[in-house]
Each structure stands twice: as C-alpha cells, then as structure tokens.
Amino acid sequence: MTDKKWFSDARFGMFIHFGLYSVAARGEWYASIGQVPPEKYREYFETFNPVHYDPAYYAHIAKQAGMKYAVLTAKHHEGFCLFDSAYTDYKSVNTPIGRDLVREFTDAFRAEGIRVGLYYSLVDWHHPDYPAFKDPFHPLRGTSAALHESCDFDRYLDYMHAQVRELCTNYGKIDLLWFDFSYEGHSGPDWRAQELTEMVKSLQPDILINSRLEASGGCLGSLLTDAPSPWAGDFAVPEQIIPPAPLKTPSDSPVCWEACQTLNNSFGYTADDHVYKDSRICIQQLVNCVSKGGNYLLNIGPDANGSIPLQSENILREMGQWMKYNGESIYECRESTLPVSAFGCRVTARDHILYLHIMQQPVGPLPLSGIRPKDIRYARILSTGAEVEVLTKGWAAENYPDYTFISLASQANETQLLPDSADTVIKLVLHRPASSL
C-alpha cells in the first residue's frame, strides 16, 4: 500500500493553473462556457509567450507561505500541454516561449525541497477523437461542425495513456498525480482506469493518485465506502468546499482527503475577478481542513505573461508570516480524538498536544468542553510561548463544573484582545496522549 504519511503530514500545498486560457483571461473553463471555436483558440496558441513564467520564483513564494507540495496543470481540459509530449504538436515547446514548462516546474520545486505533483485532465477538447457533439462540456457540443464527427475513443485513450506514461517516465520522481475529472459516460472503466492505475504505479511506485478517475469535485467516489474500486485513488478531493466533518467510511475508517480552493473565485487567471479572500480567511480554511484530518491545496493562477497576481502574492506572504510562528499546529497534525470544543475555535492535535485555534474574541475566560483542567499539564500561546492560565477556581470554574476555562488576560487587563485576530493558537500540553484520557 502506498505510504500516505508525507501527504497527511504536509497539510498545505500550492495548486498552479496555467495554460492557453491564461491568455484569454476568462478562467480555465472559458473554451467550454463561451463555446469558443477552434480558430479563435488557435490565436492563443500562436501567441503564447509567458516571458515571466518563473517556477523558481513560484517555489520561493510557496516555501515562504509554508507549503510543502505543489501541483501544476500539465494539461487541462483544453488539451494544451505544458510538457514536450511526443504525441502532439499542441504543446508549449511549439509556441513562442519554446520551452518545456513542466520540466522547469519539477526542477525548481524540488530544488526548494517541495514535493511535486502533476495535474492531468482526462478530458481533452482539442483531440479529434474526444467526442464533442453530445458531450455536455465540449466547446463544439451541439454544433454543426461536430454533427458528423467520426471519433475513435479507444484511439484517444491510447493517446491519453501514452501521455501519462511520459509524465511518469520523463520527469523524475513524481509525488502526486492529480487526474481531472469523471462524469456520466466517462468514468472508471471508460478511461481504462485499472490499466492506467497499474501503469502509473509500476512506473512511480510511491506516487499518490487522487480519486477523480471515478469522481468529480462534487462526487468523492468509492473511497468513502468499505469496498473502494481498484481505481478509487489514494485521496478524495472535494472542490471549493470543506467537508463539515472528517471523511470516513461506513465502518469508521478515516479517508485521506484534500480540499482544493481558490484565492479569488477562479482557478485559471481571470482579469476581472478581484473578489479575493484575505489571508485571515485562508488561514482559517487551512485550520478547518486540518482539524478534520484534511489537506488544503490553495490555487494561484498566473497571468498570460506568467506573473502571479500581486493580490495572490500578498495573501501567501501573510499566510507565511502566520505559519512561521504557528506551523507546528498544522504540520503532522490531525483531528483531535478528544471532543474538545469552544465557540469560535478549531482544534488540531498530535500525540499528547492539543492546539486550540481561537478565531473569535471570547468574552471573559474561554470555556472548553470535552477536557478537564487536571488533564492539562500546561498551556502556552504558540507564537510567543507566553503562559495561558487554566482556571481551577473562581466564579467561572465554580458555576460551570463541566467546562474548563482558560484566560488570555492578565490580572491587570481582564479584557485583553487576541494577539492574532486571524487565529491565536493555544498549545495545550496534556499529561498523557489524548487517546488515553
């Protein structure tokens, strides 16, 4: 069985959506949504020249943010390849930039000690053997141009499998393969998924594969059952949503998962999308994922020139400042086995330590349920090491015996504000592992 520990320990990764759609600047689904004709899309191919594409800089930003792995779109639904595939001319080396952008990505991120993953779309709107007329997403769906199409889907599958083999053969050790996506008529056996999975694992024995050989962003697949399919993958990937609870099978076995999220409302660069989350929201989303046993894959969408939008950079830098002092509460952490809770808080855990993430200013001492004062050896603010008082007497402790109260205020200042309004982390060190309490 593939070792998932590095993935579950990493918790925080970077998603990079980049392709011809970056030139159109209307998002990665523009070809489908706009039903863009092939001749229009050809203009993007002939002028694709991202002179500021700099994966070494992307890797630097990712490392500063505290990200431990990264995933690049080697080929999105549009069919354009950022790698030098022997099976198509529709690739970056044949555009004005004239370079293998996947190779540059893998080299740069490995140099920073960041694990590398590649996204590969099972869907292909450019390949002549990918059916268009009746497909619900193809740009040529329902058009006269596709009415009399003559497709050989097996020939497309041969092409797709061959390209995946290239990615698993020509770019060194790949830590993660991110397929996208399955839908009605194109799922599991339709992709020759068992053959594909076996081929990938034979070439990259330690690689992790996501669940989308049979799932989509809204459907998580058979990983959440007690009898997953042979192509179910190693981790589920809910998209633009954080599950309300840890993902588990009916027999209560934990399921490895990763939420992929955007910084604004788009994965691919969208010029008029300025609805950016701030770093406070992103930090809280990261903590929310980890508190439920999941990872957080946060996307950047470089523009047509290859530059990261300034808003994205600023958010990641601010997250990095928080991670610098609070990363201990994220890396190698899991959901708590103790039912500890408090209003406006999340809990992450490891061994005999609970990390209480306070995201809302409490009124007076903070009441915790699910833990007793005698179980706590000591409490500290993680970012500064300052002691936090666990109350064992006083009006709060006496009137609410089922709660443990912690106070962030000194005697001289009973209304002290949270040191970090995004998330103040309290490190609760227990006398013994939480599982034994």
- CATH number, domain with residue 87: 3.20.20.80
Asked if residue 298 and residue 371 are part of one domain, the reply reads no
Asked if residue 294 and residue 424 are part of one domain, the reply reads no
Any alpha helices (H) in 55-152, and if so which ranges? 55-65, 101-111, 144-147
Asked if residue 180 and residue 327 are part of one domain, the reply reads yes
Range of the domain at 220: 5-332
- The predicted structure's pLDDT at residue 419: 86
Asked if residue 343 and residue 238 are part of one domain, the reply reads no
Give the largest Cα separation in the chain, rounded. Answer: 81
Residue at a domain's end among 317, 332, 347: 332
Rounded to two decimals, what is the model's pTM?
A: 0.96
Q: Strand locations in 343-400, DSSP E? A: 345-350, 353-358, 366-368, 376-381, 389-391
The larger pLDDT score, comparing residue 414 to residue 208, is at 208
What count of other Cβ atoms lies within 10 Å of the Cβ of residue 360?
A: 14
* Cα–Cα distance measured from residue 215 to residue 208, given in angstroms and rounded to the nearest whole number: 16
- Is the model's pLDDT at 415 over the cut of 70? no
Residue at a domain's end among 305, 332, 359: 332
Q: Residue 414's pLDDT band (boundaries 50, 70, 90)? A: low
Asked if residue 317 and residue 206 are part of one domain, the reply reads yes
Q: Which of 98, 111, 105, 41 is nearest to 70 (CA)?
A: 105
Q: How many residues does the chain have?
A: 437
* Cα–Cα distance measured from residue 32 to residue 138, given in angstroms and rounded to the nearest whole number: 6
Asked if residue 293 and residue 220 are part of one domain, the reply reads yes
- The predicted structure's pLDDT at residue 437: 62
Q: Which of 105-114, 170-179, 369-378 has the lowest mean pLDDT?
A: 369-378
* Tens-digit pLDDT profile for residues 385-403: 999 999 877 766 778 888 9
> How many domains does one find in the chain?
2
Orientation of helix 279-291 relative to helix 310-326, angle to 10°: 50
Q: Residue 412's pLDDT band (boundaries 50, 70, 90)? A: very low
CA distances from 377 to 392, 398, 407, 411 (A): 13, 20, 15, 21
Residue 69 CA to its chain's centroid (Å): 9
- The predicted structure's pLDDT at residue 364: 83
- The predicted structure's pLDDT at residue 92: 98
- The predicted structure's pLDDT at residue 257: 98
- Is the model's pLDDT at 21 over the cut of 90? yes
What are 73's strand-pairing partners?
Answer: 119
Q: Which of 324, 290, 260 is nearest to 17 (CA)?
A: 260
- The predicted structure's pLDDT at residue 193: 98
- Average pLDDT value for the chain: 95
User: Are 36 and 80 a contacting pair, CB within 8 Å?
Assistant: no
Asked if residue 349 and residue 235 are part of one domain, the reply reads no
* Eight-class DSSP state of 91: B
